Structure 1
Amino acid sequence: MDPELLWSPAERPRRGRPPAYSRAAITAEAVAIADTEGLTAVTMRAVAARIGAGTMSLYSYVPNKETLLELMIDQVSGDHRLPPGPSGDWRADLRKLAHEQRAIMRRHPWLPAALPARQTLGPNTLATLEYALAVLEPVRLDARAALETFSLLTGFVAGHVSYELAQEQAAEAAGRTSGEILEAQARYLRSTSVGGTYPRVARALTVPSNDPAPRAVFDRLLDRMINGLTAAV
């Protein structure tokens, strides 16, 4: 994969008839398939069928599925609604950025699993990274630490969204709400800790529960994450 070729501002001109499709249109169809059917459903054949092209003709626009995945990741990264610059409150800006990431990953449930396979950074991703580094400037991290901080924050969001989606799918399959499943788990754990076998678990379960709503849980963990990442500064 050649990043310079992949992310060139314009597709190379072709001799003869003008191209019938564009990489952007092809990528949009691939994203639509992944959103509704999952990432495994995204094949060159499936995308070609969506745009009404022959499978082999698609390879003249996108050489392989790995390249298509790079295009898909960067295209949805363009969904970030970023202000022109940081507000000056870096903690608030980081929280807002993390919530933007969460919203995008929930709209595109395949994205958390796709991110570890990413091999290069496209223009939309670079714009988000540039903004994140600007937000972190008041923290006075060195350049490498700032990059690592944003990477860890993104990893936290991806992991948490994956957990949220898995819990929702499990609840739907069981015909119960997430709250009902969590309460059943809590009853079971309380019953196993009564005899003193798990004293630490028993103490933890006596602590009053905080707001169990998914966004509230995300906010609590996000604050701990941000505090932990910048505690040494």
Structure 2
Amino acid sequence: MTRDAGPGAGGIDPQRLWLASTQPRRGRRPAHSREAITAAAVALADAEGLEAVTMRGVASQVGVSVMSLYSYAPDKGTLLELMVDHVSGELLTGAERPSSSAPLTVPAPTGDWRADLKAIGHLQRALMLRHPWLPAALSTRRTPGPHTLAFLEHALAVLRPTGLDGAAKLEIFAQLTSFVAAHVGHELAQAAAARSPDRLAAEARYLAAVAADGHHPELAEALAAPGRSLTPEATFTRFLNRLTDGLDTHFADRL
């Protein structure tokens, strides 16, 4: 297996990754920091997609040799761990980007866990849309770094009023994150499809033909129903509300 193998390559030791020094220990003083290397990898992924993030590609972006890069991140799996935690920090610092209309900022818990959980979902969606590679990167198990842990701490504090045990609260946060990642992945795919009007028109004709064939009455009724707002934000909000309301119902006897 090469060093550019997928996530998990090399058997990542989270304690060594997150608690050890972030600078190479041997040789002369490094010209770059691990933070700078990670930021370069994030910028590359933002611009060209996750597949562009190779050790060689990042080394070229930074202007160092591949061998030098290995002293900061021994493989691509480790680099992805660093990237995920790096962008998670944007939720804590309110970092802005030129393309963003507003910074992402985690508000303090209000005591209304339903509203606060929805706010977390919207923040996660905004972060994933800002970094379209993030849903795919999250599909493989990640070890939480300091920024990710800080955001998790916030989510657990939001859920404290539920009175649920720690395991249940962790499961709710994992469920929410998985939902947002899957939804954003679909949202990005839909946005890409929308850039091809011919494809959308062909799909509409196909569904109209299926609805009219008499074999799919439930689908025909659904397609004939009054439309709802189909803006990405409105659609996400409806789905998120259903998820949160479902949790409220599920845990009603324990809240």
**TM-score where L is the length of structure 2:** 0.83
Task: Tell me, yes or no, if the aligned pair for 1:105 and 1:112 is still in contact at 8 Å.
Answer: yes
Match of 1:91 in 2: 114
Amino acid at match of 1:49: S
The aligned runs of 1:49-198 (5 Å cut-off) are: 49-80=60-91, 81-83=105-107, 85-172=108-195, 174-175=196-197, 181=200, 185-186=203-204, 188-198=206-216
Which deviates the most, 133-142 or 22-31? 133-142
Number of residue pairs matched by the alignment: 227
- Residue from 210, 223, 233 that aligns with 1:215: 233
Task: Tell me, yes or no, if the aligned pair for 2:23 and 2:72 is still in contact at 8 Å.
Answer: no
| Runs (5+) with no aligned partner, structure 2 | 1-11, 92-104
Match of 1:4 in 2: 15
Which deviates the most, 121-130 or 13-22? 13-22
Identity %: 56
**TM-score where L is the length of structure 1:** 0.90
> C-alpha separation between the residues in 2 aligned to 1:48 and 1:202?
54
Task: Tell me, yes or no, if the aligned pair for 1:35 and 1:109 is still in contact at 8 Å.
Answer: yes
Deviation at 1:16, TM superposition (A): 4.9
> C-alpha separation between the residues in 2 aligned to 1:189 and 1:69?
40
Deviation at 1:5, TM superposition (A): 1.5
Q: Deviations over 1:6-25 (max 9, x none)?
A: 11264257355312111100
> C-alpha separation between the residues in 1 aligned to 2:202 and 2:238?
23
Does residue 229 in structure 1 map to residue 214 in structure 2? Answer: no
Match of 2:54 in 1: 43
Task: Tell me, yes or no, if the aligned pair for 1:90 and 1:138 is still in contact at 8 Å.
Answer: yes
Q: Deviations over 1:57-78 (max 9, x none)?
A: 1111111111000000000011
Amino acid at match of 1:82: V
| Runs (5+) with no aligned partner, structure 1 | none
Task: Tell me, yes or no, if the aligned pair for 1:33 and 1:41 is still in contact at 8 Å.
Answer: yes
Deviation at 1:230, TM superposition (A): 3.1
Task: Tell me, yes or no, if the aligned pair for 1:139 and 1:230 is still in contact at 8 Å.
Answer: no
